[in-house]
Amino acid sequence: MTDYDKAEQVKLLIQNLLSQGGFQAQVEYEDSLLKGLVFNISTRESRSLIGRQGMTLHALEILVHALAARTFKGELFRFSLDVDDYKRKREWSLKELARETAGKLQATGKSIALEPMPNYERRIVHAYLQENYPEIVSVSEGVDPNRKIVVSLK
């Protein structure tokens, strides 16, 4: 089975799952070098599918991966889900938050604690700071769901 056939099967799987959940949605996919295969769901009910801090979207992605693994009998097929480009927009805002935090830290020299966020969002912030600000160190502190990033100078 080609990757195109698999992508079409996953698209149908997502559409059926959303339909059974009572959602009217369009599912499109694109393959990019940086993000890989991304299935973007467009719907008027995007807030319900995204959830607080993207938690519902994350859970939906886990469910679709499990269904796809069963469909392809364990054969590896990598992809991700997004709803109305939420992840792309959220990644931009997290990088912007990291940039602003680094600026405040450099100006004041005092450690800064960010609001609690899920692990996949913390990874984006850590990676951005590590890549762009070698003089800054970031660590996660606390216990989920209240785990947060603390940023300080080396």
At 94-117, the pLDDT tens digits run: 999 999 999 999 999 999 999 999
What pLDDT score was predicted for residue 35? Answer: 73
What pLDDT score was predicted for residue 1? Answer: 55
What pLDDT score was predicted for residue 4? Answer: 81
DSSP helix/strand/coil, 77: coil
* Regions in the chain scoring below 50 on pLDDT: none
Q: Is 73 left (phi over 0), alpha (psi -120 to 50) or beta?
A: left
Sequence-ordered alpha helix ranges (H) in the chain: 3-20, 46-50, 55-71, 86-108, 119-132
